[in-house]
Amino acid sequence: MKTLFKAAAIAALPLTSLAVMPVPAAAQSKLGIAVVDLSEAVNRTTAATTATSQMQTTYKASIDSLNTRKTALETELKQKGDALQAAAKAASGKPTPALQTQYEAFQKRQQEAQAELQRIGQPIAIARAYVEEQITAKLNDALKSAMTKAKVDLVLSPEGTISYQPGVDITAMVTAELNALVPSVSIVPPQGWQPGQQRQQQQPAAPGQQPAGR
Q: Where are the domains of the chain?
A: 33-195
List helix spans (H) across the chain.
Answer: 2-12, 15-18, 25-28, 38-43, 46-58, 60-90, 97-120, 122-136, 139-150, 171-181, 197-202
Cα gap 203→166, rounded to integer Å = 36
Strand, helix or coil at 155? strand
Calpha distance 173→123 (Å, rounded): 32
Give residue 199's pLDDT. Answer: 56
Measure the CA–CA gap between 178 and 121, rounded to whole angstroms: 28
State whether residue 48 is helix, strand or coil: helix
Residue with the bigger pLDDT between 137 and 31: it is 137
CA–CA gap between residue 110 and residue 74 (Å, rounded): 9
Mean pLDDT, residues 43-52: 98
Checking if the pLDDT of 21 tops 70, the result is: no
- A 10 A CB-CB count for 176 gives 19
d(CA 142, CA 176): 8
Which residues partner with 34 through β-bridges? 155
Is the predicted pLDDT of residue 2 greater than 60, yes or no?
A: no
Mapping DSSP to helix (H, G, I), strand (E, B) and coil, where does residue 34 land?
strand
Looking at residues 36-57, what average pLDDT do you find?
97
Mean pLDDT for 165-189 is 96
Q: Quickly state the pLDDT bin for 198 (edges 50, 70, 90).
A: low
Whole-number Å distance between alpha carbons of 87 and 68: 29
- Summarize pLDDT for 133-170 with one digit per residue, the tens: 999 999 999 999 999 999 999 999 999 999 988 889 99
